[in-house]
Amino acid sequence: MLEGIHPLLTGELLLHLDRMGHSDSVVIADAHFPAWGLGERTIDLPGTTTPEVLAAIRTVIPLDDAPGLDLMESADGEILDVQHELMDAAGTTVETTRFVERFAYYEAARPAYLMVRTGETRKYGNALLRKGVVGHPSA
């Protein structure tokens, strides 16, 4: 157990987040997403939601320059409640978030450094986060 670390950030997840470089991406996937079929590295966090996991990851990873967050566009183009929650968790807005058509989203997700599959059951509850440059403390 570590002090000051969000409890959803397991040791395995922290290891992979630490190994990510600038602009590498992590997909926080809903339970419907083909994470194991697309991802070389996949971690399951059942019993969690994508906004919860995204908020936890954002406690240790800054966003890359815009767009730092991609969301899967809904079939009718409407922004769903889960997507608003994901933008809130990431600290983005509609203007700074890229919405990607479903099949193009799968292609954008394929080269992600890491997939984290959650227990999220709401449709279109997927987020692709690009890691920004991690600052260092002043000397």
> 83, 85, 90: which is closest to 105 by C-alpha?
83
22 is catalytic: yes
The residue from 22, 32, 84, 136 that is catalytic is 22
List the chain domain ranges: 22-130
How do residues 73-110 score in pLDDT, each as one tens digit?
A: 999 999 999 999 999 999 999 999 999 999 999 999 99
CATH of domain 22-130: 3.40.1650.10
Kindly report the pTM of this predicted structure: 0.93
Q: How many CA atoms lie within 13 A of 99 on its CB side?
A: 17
Q: How far is CA 92 from CA 51, 58, 97, 104, in A?
A: 13, 11, 6, 21
pLDDT bracket for residue 135 (50, 70, 90): confident
* 22, 133 Cβ separation under 8 angstroms: yes
How do residues 52-66 score in pLDDT, each as one tens digit?
A: 999 999 999 999 987
Side chain identity at 109, as an amino acid letter? A
Region 32-51: mean pLDDT is: 96
